[in-house]
């Protein structure tokens, strides 16, 4: 108590004109239009990018948090222009990081910059907090390139902190920003740059808004996912720009379901899947909407990679333009604009079911076809494709002729390219679908619809049109 009062007496609390209204029953805050604010420089942050500012930043957050408790109002920790090098900092309830557009929070590149428990390896971490956020137009930068052990245009080899025994293989690196067990999260107007591993990670959280966020990760570095929505409900993403090596928007279920996810008005480029459900898929995915999204030169467009027995239903993809191309096959993805798969990852896994998918108003130009693959234990049912313009042509020199079940299942299987490859489906509608094939000899394509020798039942096609065209 003494310490809190001491800190408070050090503060100069100021008011800004921004207005916040809290109507939530869950909210710890009273509705008050004026958030409190406190600058990290008040606690001695250098902002020179050389000296660690961890202690001043954490003191500012703690002071803000104390002010939140006292005044029951949100409090902004202000980062004025500068570069703030830091070890992990812990965000508290009611606190918003307000990073000036000329300010950067730089994550430390050393193992000792992160907590002992690997599950807490983030540059910014909020745990069991409510009414938290990040805003201000500035940047959080994980210095991901400092984690590259060997640069390789195919795929960089990354540093691994696996010698700690905390995790395995090359996925043993810190994430950038994490919210674990949080509610009422608002991330807006911020750049999240060069994560060493995953970028923005929601875990067991509820009611998250992510808007006007730019995410950039090195195109050749593995695992630098954009937004991972794990075991979390009620997430709204809008106006995002994501350019990464690994998956861009990636709901996962490891310990619980994911309900109600919306992503709209986004631009995405990735060497993996632009939108990917899975592959961690132990529980339900339900009620997702992806609308008005441009996917540019990615390895895979819209993907369901269900491998662990979780069921998926009621997912809509609308008004989406896609271009997908081949990259080096060490990256999952074979240029599929749409990829809907469920199969048991390995002998110990189950296959989940996938039902009620709607794809509407989709335009794509791609080097490979659509892949729709259920499996014996997990059927795809009630899939609808309405208003689709699909253009197929080749423009890279990477080899084709595989279907890609990775991770696990049948891995890579040699198979002739098809416009739509189908297996284990019950209930499929194509309506107003135009498929155009570049008649380039080298493509050897003559296969608009391909049914693997397995069940595909109850198909309806209305205005389905397929033809070759002169490039």
Ligand X SMILES: *[C@@H]1O[C@H](CO)[C@@H](O)[C@H](O)[C@H]1NC(C)=O
Residues that bind ligand X (CB under 6 A): 22-24, 26, 160, 162-163, 168-170, 184, 186, 204, 206-207, 209, 231-234, 256-257, 259-260, 265, 267, 283-284, 287, 292-294, 309-311, 318-319, 321, 352-353, 360-361, 363, 382, 387, 389, 427, 429, 434, 458
Q: Do residues 354 and 306 touch, judged by C-beta distance below 8 A?
A: yes
CB of 68 to ligand X, least distance (A): 14
CB of 113 to ligand X, least distance (A): 19
- Residue placing its CB nearer to ligand X in the complex, 106 or 182: 182
Residue 110 CB contacts under 8 Å (≥ 6 apart), including other chains? none
- Residue placing its CB nearer to ligand X in the complex, 54 or 382: 382
- Residue placing its CB nearer to ligand X in the complex, 376 or 401: 376
Residue 100 CB contacts under 8 Å (≥ 6 apart), including other chains? 78, 79, 80, 81, 136, 137, 138
Q: For residue 161, count other CB atoms closer than 10 A to its CB.
A: 18
CB of 171 to ligand X, least distance (A): 9
Tell me the residue nearest to ligand X as measured from the CB.
427
CB of 178 to ligand X, least distance (A): 14
Count of CA atoms in the C-beta half-sphere (13 A) of 406:
14
- Residue placing its CB nearer to ligand X in the complex, 41 or 260: 260
d(CA 324, CA 295): 8
- Strand (E) or helix (H) holding 3: helix 2-10
- Residue placing its CB nearer to ligand X in the complex, 39 or 305: 305
- Residue placing its CB nearer to ligand X in the complex, 84 or 198: 198
Helices (H), 47-171: 54-71
Closest CA to 37 of 99, 124, 105, 82: 99
- Residue placing its CB nearer to ligand X in the complex, 192 or 312: 312
Residue 432 CB contacts under 8 Å (≥ 6 apart), including other chains? 386, 387, 388, 462, 463
CB of 176 to ligand X, least distance (A): 20
DSSP letter at 378 equals: B
- Residue placing its CB nearer to ligand X in the complex, 23 or 471: 23
- Residue placing its CB nearer to ligand X in the complex, 119 or 318: 318
DSSP letter at 253 equals: B
CB of 331 to ligand X, least distance (A): 16
CB of 321 to ligand X, least distance (A): 4
- Residue placing its CB nearer to ligand X in the complex, 110 or 444: 110
Which residue is it, tokens 């609808």? 384
Which residue is it, tokens 């992510």? 210
Mind giving me the DSSP string for 189-232? Answer: EEEEE--SS-SEEEES-EEEEEEEEEEE--TT-TT--SEEEES-
Q: What's the sign of the alpha-carbon dihedral 359, 362, 367, 369?
A: positive
CB of 383 to ligand X, least distance (A): 7
d(CA 249, CA 268): 9
Helices (H), 135-202: none
CB of 411 to ligand X, least distance (A): 19
3-state secondary structure of 130: strand
CB of 239 to ligand X, least distance (A): 6
């Amino acid at each position: 108590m003494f310490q809190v009062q001491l800190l408070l007496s050090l503060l100069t609390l100021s008011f800004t004109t921004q207005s916040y209204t809290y109507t939530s029953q869950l909210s710890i805050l009273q509705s008050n239009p004026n958030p409190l604010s406190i600058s990290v420089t008040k606690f001695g942050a250098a902002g020179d990018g050389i000296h660690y500012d961890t202690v001043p930043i954490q003191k500012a957050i703690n002071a803000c948090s104390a002010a939140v408790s006292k005044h029951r109002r949100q409090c902004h920790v202000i980062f004025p222009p500068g570069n703030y090098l830091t070890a992990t900092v812990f965000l508290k309830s009611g606190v918003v990081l307000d990073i000036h557009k000329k300010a950067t929070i730089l994550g430390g590149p050393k193992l000792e910059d992160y907590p002992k428990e690997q599950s807490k390896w983030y540059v910014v971490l909020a745990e069991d907090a409510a009414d938290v956020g990040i805003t201000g137009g500035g940047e959080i930068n994980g210095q991901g390139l400092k984690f590259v052990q060997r640069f390789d245009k195919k795929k960089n080899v990354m540093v691994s902190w696996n010698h700690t025994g905390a995790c395995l293989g090359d996925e043993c690196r810190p994430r950038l920003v994490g919210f674990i067990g949080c509610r009422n999260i608002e991330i807006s107007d911020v750049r999240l740059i060069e994560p060493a591993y995953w970028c923005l990670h929601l875990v067991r959280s509820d009611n998250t808004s992510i808007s006007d966020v730019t995410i950039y990760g090195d195109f050749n570095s593995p695992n630098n996912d954009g937004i991972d929505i794990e075991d979390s409900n009620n997430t709204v993403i809008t106006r995002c720009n994501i350019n990464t090596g690994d998956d861009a928007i990636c709901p996962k279920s490891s310990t619980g379901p994911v309900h109600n996810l919306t992503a709209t008005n986004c631009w995405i480029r990735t060497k993996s899947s632009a939108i990917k459900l899975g592959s961690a898929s132990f529980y339900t995915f339900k009620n997702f909407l992806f609308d008005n999204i441009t996917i540019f030169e990615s390895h895979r467009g819209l993907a369901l990679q269900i491998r662990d027995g979780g069921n998926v239903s009621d997912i809509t993809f609308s008004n989406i333009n896609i271009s997908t191309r081949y990259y080096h096959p060490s990256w999952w993805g074979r240029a599929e604009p749409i990829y809907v798969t469920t199969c048991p990852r390995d002998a110990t896994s189950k296959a989940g079911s996938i039902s009620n998918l709607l794809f509407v108003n989709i335009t794509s130009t791609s080097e490979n076809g659509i892949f729709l693959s259920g499996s014996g234990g997990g059927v795809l049912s009630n899939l609808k494709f309405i208003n689709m313009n699909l253009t197929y042509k080749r423009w890279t020199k990477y080899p084709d002729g595989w279907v890609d079940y990775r991770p696990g299942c049948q891995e890579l299987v040699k198979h002739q390219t098809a416009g739509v490859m189908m297996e284990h489906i019950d209930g499929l509608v194509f309506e107003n679908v135009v498929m155009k094939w570049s008649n380039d000899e080298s493509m050897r394509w003559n296969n608009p619809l391909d049914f693997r020798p397995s069940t595909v039942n109850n198909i309806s096609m209305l205005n389905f049109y397929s033809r070759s065209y002169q490039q």
